[in-house]
Amino acid sequence: MPAIIVIGTQWGDEGKGKATDQLGDRVDYVVRYSGGNNAGHTVVVGGERYALHLLPSGILNPSCTPVIGNGVVVDLDVLFSEIDALNARGVDAERVLISANAHIITPYHQVIDKVTERFLGNRKIGTTGRGVGPAYADKVNRIGLRIQDLFDPKILAQKVEAALELKNQMLVKIYNRPTIDAGEITKRLLAHAERLRPMVTDVSLLLNRALDAGKVVLLEGAQAHHLDVDFGTYPYVTSSNPIAAGACTGSGIGPTRIDRVVGIAKAYTTRVGEGPFPGELQGDVGEQLRQAGAEFGTTTGRPRRCGWFDALVVEQAVRVNAVTDIVLTKLDVLTGWDKIPVVVAYDVNGTRHDVMPMNQSDLHHATPVYEYLDGWTEDITGCRTFSELPATTQAYVRRLEELIGTRISGIGVGPDREQQVPLHDLL
């Protein structure tokens, strides 16, 4: 089973970090292929909590080589502060490898992320403010900076100057902000070059050779299907392709080499930032879910918007990504409800939709149609086999499988690496 992709099936924070870490001891390479430090992946090992933003979750497994692919946008200040913080906790993080083609997030991308959000006012996206969108915009505009540019200071200086030419005019004339000095930026970037040099690799070559040799490669998604720039709730999305197809473009592995796509789905639904969320619970019930699941962003600390499990949301992700297995996370959080509602359809102005509507405006006007499943009161955090789960918990899992059209191969019953109920082998 050489190449496996892990993706989020909702709007992020499904528990991709934990799922990736759990497979780590059977994996040779863990590769981030999209996004940047907008991600926040929490891994809990023996009670110790690690919040990873840019580094792949495989970093916590000593036998695993962590890799940052070409599809990622890298903030070098964040990279090295994350490496230093892990080194200080006894994790050798210096071993991470980085694609020479990955793009760089600079301080001017962060400034632009923030001023454009302010400019949008109530049309804002609710970004993480990390400069991710503007860095991808420069990549597509062909004025981005790549990791390999750091090793040619003359070229780097020219590229920074070119990138800032229009941006400085915009900053002053439209956003009423001071200009940014190209020389200062170049100096700040070059300060990282020598420490970075041994990490820079032809990632595509490395991974293809590894697969040829029968090694196991796990491609760790960040963000999620419904934040994808093509398939998400545009424009309330991130600026990359977190979907499974993005794992190929973001790492340099061809589609025929992928063996399995594991979708991570929370047993309910959350979203951070703006954008449509038909099943959102505004009142006390939403607050109860938020408290029970500790639903506050790993990256920005913002309270996550909460709702019950939405089968349409996960079904679309299963379909578009050809998901082979689902890992259902945070099932323990649902303990204690008499009935657990599940969104099985949307009502859009009197018309029933059994799959997510094609048009975004329908999604904005959708109200959820619920099916009510029996709850349970037993503490399930100590369960390690499916048969140990209460009968109603088992029935909840089986009904979700029917609704989303794929098998559930693992169930999360707590944040710790060990708190998992396996149903089918993923590797």
Partner from Mg ion, ligand IMO, ligand GDP, none binding residue 329, C-beta < 5-8 Å depending on class: ligand GDP
Reduced to 3 states (helix: H, G, I; strand: E, B; else coil), residue 91 is: coil
- If the CB atoms of residues 259 and 416 are measured against ligand GDP, the closer one turns out to be 416
Partner from ligand GDP, Mg ion, ligand IMO, none binding residue 272, C-beta < 5-8 Å depending on class: ligand IMO
412 binds ligand GDP (CB under 6 A): yes
Task: Classify residue 298 as left (phi > 0), alpha (psi -120 to 50) or beta.
Answer: alpha
Residue closest to 422 by CA, chosen among 409, 413, 407? 409
Partner from ligand GDP, Mg ion, ligand IMO, none binding residue 38, C-beta < 5-8 Å depending on class: ligand IMO
Token pair in block for residue 183: 């020389």
- If the CB atoms of residues 32 and 109 are measured against ligand GDP, the closer one turns out to be 32
Selected range binding ligand GDP among 87-95, 194-202, 330-338, 392-400, rule: CB under 6 A: 330-338
Catalytic-role residue among 21, 41, 226, 325: 41
User: Which residues, 287 to 346, sit near ligand IMO by CB under 6 A?
Assistant: 298
Selected range binding ligand GDP among 29-37, 176-184, 278-286, 326-334, rule: CB under 6 A: 326-334
Bridge-based pairing of strands 339-348 and 351-353 is antiparallel
Compute the 3-state secondary structure of the chain and give helix, strand, coil in percent, each to the nearest 5: 40, 25, 40
Q: What is the DSSP letter of 227?
A: G
Burial class (CB in 10 A: 0-12, 13-18, 19+), 193: middle
15 binds ligand GDP (CB under 6 A): yes
Active site residue 109: no
Which residue is listed with tokens 């100057």? 161
414 binds ligand GDP (CB under 6 A): yes
40 binds ligand GDP (CB under 6 A): yes
- If the CB atoms of residues 17 and 307 are measured against ligand GDP, the closer one turns out to be 17
Sequence length of the chain is: 427
Cα–Cα distances (Å) from 337 to 353, 378, 402, in that order, read 27, 11, 22
Selected range binding ligand IMO among 39-47, 87-95, 253-261, 391-399, rule: CB under 6 A: 39-47
13 binds ligand IMO (CB under 6 A): yes
User: CB of residue 67 vs ligand IMO: minimum separation in angstroms?
Assistant: 17
Report the alpha-carbon distance of residue 274 to residue 301 in Å, rounded.
15
Residue closest to 138 by CA, chosen among 12, 221, 36, 291? 36
13 binds ligand GDP (CB under 6 A): yes
Token pair in block for residue 272: 């951070």
The amino acid at residue 88 is A
User: CB of residue 211 vs ligand IMO: minimum separation in angstroms?
Assistant: 25
Selected range binding ligand GDP among 23-31, 41-49, 86-94, 340-348, rule: CB under 6 A: 41-49
Residue closest to 36 by CA, chosen among 115, 134, 170, 180? 134
44 binds ligand GDP (CB under 6 A): yes
Indicate the residue whose CB is closest to ligand IMO: 273
Backbone φ and ψ for 403, nearest 5 degrees, come out as: -70, -35
39 binds ligand IMO (CB under 6 A): yes
Q: Where are the beta strands (DSSP E) in 54-173?
A: 65-68, 73-75, 97-99, 103-105
User: CB of residue 374 vs Mg ion: minimum separation in angstroms?
Assistant: 30
Selected range binding ligand GDP among 12-20, 117-125, 150-158, 384-392, rule: CB under 6 A: 12-20
Residue closest to 386 by CA, chosen among 404, 409, 403, 406? 409
User: Which residues, 254 to 313, sit near ligand GDP by CB under 6 A?
Assistant: 298
Residue closest to 404 by CA, chosen among 330, 309, 339, 337? 309
Active site residue 41: yes
Q: What is the DSSP letter of 4?
A: E
Contact footprint for ligand GDP (CB under 6 A)? 8, 12-18, 39-42, 44, 298, 329-330, 332-333, 412-415
Contact footprint for ligand IMO (CB under 6 A)? 8, 12-13, 38-41, 125-128, 130, 132-133, 222-224, 227, 238-239, 272-273, 298
List the catalytic residues: 13, 41
